[in-house]
C-alpha cells in the first residue's frame, strides 16, 4: 500500500472510531438519570435537588415522626395487596411490569411519589398487572448499600414498602447519605419491618446474587437507564417500554396497549 493510500486508510479509520465514540456518548446522554461518561470518568449530573424540588413536589420527610407518618401512608398504598420477594400484585395477573430503578435516581423517586400510588390503585390492586422491582447500582456506593437493604426487605416481603420510603427520604446522589443510620431510620419507619434482621441479611450471598442477577438481566434486555419498565404478557417475550414522563398518565399510555 502506498504511503498516501495508507494515510487515507488511517484517516478513515480514525473518523470511524470518532463517530462510534460520539454515538456511544449520545446514547449515554439519553439516559433518564443523565449519566454521562466523559474522558473515561463516570460523571453523574447532580440534578437531584432540582428534580426533587420541582413545582408540586413534596419535601423529603425529616425527623422520625414525619418519616413514620410517611411509612404509614405508604403501607396504606400497598395494604391488602400480596407481596412476595420483589413482586407485588396477584400472581395470576397476566401482565407483569418490571421496574428497573436506582435507589439514588431522582426520577425514580419522582415516579414513586407522583405516579405509583395511582398506578397501584388502578392496575395492581385490580389484578390487571403485577409489578416486579429490580434495583440497579450504577450511581455509586449509596446505590449498592440501599439496593442490598431492599433485597433484605424482599426476604420479609416488604421490598416495595422499604424502597418507597427510601425514595421519599432520598438524599443528594453521591453524597454518602445512605449510612447505616439512614438505612435503619427507613427500616424503623416501615410498618412490620424487622430492621435488625435486614441489616444482617443484606450481606448474605443471596442479597449479593440478587444485585448481580439484576445487572445481568438489564444487560440482556438492553436496559441502561432508570426508571425503565419492561412488560411481559403471559409467557411472551419481555418488551422494554418508554414513558414520556414520570406520571401515572404516561404509565397508562405505555401499558394500556398490553392489556387488550
* Pair 245, 107: CB distance under 8 Å: no
- Helix or strand or coil: residue 57? coil
CATH number of the domain within which 81 lies: 3.40.30.10
Let me know if residue 41 belongs to a domain.
Answer: no
What is the model's pTM? 0.77
Let me know if residue 101 belongs to a domain.
Answer: yes
Let me know if residue 19 belongs to a domain.
Answer: no
pLDDT for residue 67: 95
User: Which residues 6+ apart lie within 8 Å of 129 measured at CB?
Assistant: 89, 93, 95, 96, 97, 123, 255, 259
Let me know if residue 48 belongs to a domain.
Answer: no
DSSP string, 89-112: S-TT-SEEEEEEEETT-HHHHHHH
Per-residue buried b or exposed e for 105-140, using 16+ beta carbons within 10 Å of the residue's own CB: bbbbbbbbbbbbbebbeebbbeebbbbbbbbbbbbb
Place of cell 443510620: 181
Let me know if residue 242 belongs to a domain.
Answer: yes
Let me know if residue 86 belongs to a domain.
Answer: yes
Q: Where are the beta strands (DSSP E) in the chain?
A: 35-38, 41-44, 83-84, 87-88, 95-102, 129-136, 228-233, 239-241
Per-residue pLDDT of 119-147, as tens digits, reads: 999 999 999 999 999 999 999 999 999 99
Mean pLDDT by 10 residues, the chain (260 residues): 51 52 42 34 33 43 85 97 97 97 97 97 98 95 96 96 98 94 97 96 87 93 95 96 95 94
The count of structural domains within the chain is 1
Let me know if residue 152 belongs to a domain.
Answer: yes
- Residue 131 has, within 13 A of its CA and on its CB side, a CA count of 24
Per-residue pLDDT of 225-250, as tens digits, reads: 999 999 999 999 999 999 999 999 99
Q: Give me the domain span that covers residue 160.
A: 61-259
How far CA 219 is from CA of 41, 104, 212, 224, in Å, comes to 20, 20, 11, 8
Let me know if residue 171 belongs to a domain.
Answer: yes
Task: Give the cell for residue 240.
Answer: 422494554
Amino acid at each position: 500500500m502506498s504511503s498516501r493510500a495508507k494515510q487515507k486508510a488511517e484517516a478513515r479509520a480514525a473518523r470511524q472510531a470518532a463517530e462510534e465514540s460520539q454515538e456511544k456518548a449520545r446514547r449515554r446522554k439519553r439516559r433518564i438519570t443523565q449519566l454521562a461518561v466523559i474522558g473515561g470518568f463516570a460523571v453523574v449530573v447532580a440534578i437531584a435537588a432540582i428534580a426533587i424540588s420541582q413545582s408540586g413536589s413534596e419535601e423529603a420527610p425529616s425527623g422520625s415522626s414525619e418519616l413514620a407518618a410517611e411509612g404509614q401512608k405508604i403501607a396504606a398504598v400497598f395494604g391488602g395487596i400480596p407481596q412476595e420477594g420483589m413482586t407485588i400484585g396477584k400472581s395470576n395477573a397476566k401482565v407483569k411490569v418490571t421496574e428497573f430503578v436506582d435507589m439514588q435516581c431522582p426520577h425514580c423517586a419522582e415516579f414513586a411519589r407522583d405516579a405509583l400510588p395511582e398506578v397501584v390503585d388502578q392496575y395492581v390492586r385490580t389484578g390487571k398487572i403485577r409489578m416486579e422491582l429490580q434495583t440497579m447500582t450504577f450511581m455509586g456506593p449509596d446505590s449498592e448499600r440501599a439496593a442490598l437493604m431492599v433485597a433484605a426487605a424482599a426476604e420479609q416481603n416488604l421490598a416495595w414498602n422499604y424502597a418507597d420510603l427510601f425514595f421519599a427520604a432520598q438524599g443528594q446522589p453521591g453524597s454518602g447519605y445512605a449510612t447505616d443510620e439512614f438505612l435503619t431510620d427507613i427500616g424503623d419507619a416501615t410498618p412490620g419491618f424487622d430492621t435488625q434482621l435486614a441489616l444482617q441479611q443484606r450481606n448474605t450471598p443471596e442479597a449479593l446474587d440478587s444485585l448481580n442477577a439484576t445487572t445481568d438481566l438489564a444487560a440482556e434486555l438492553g436496559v441502561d437507564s432508570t426508571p425503565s419498565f419492561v412488560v411481559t404478557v403471559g409467557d411472551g417475550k419481555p418488551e422494554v417500554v418508554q414513558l414520556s414522563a414520570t406520571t401515572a398518565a404516561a404509565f397508562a399510555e405505555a401499558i394500556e396497549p398490553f392489556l387488550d
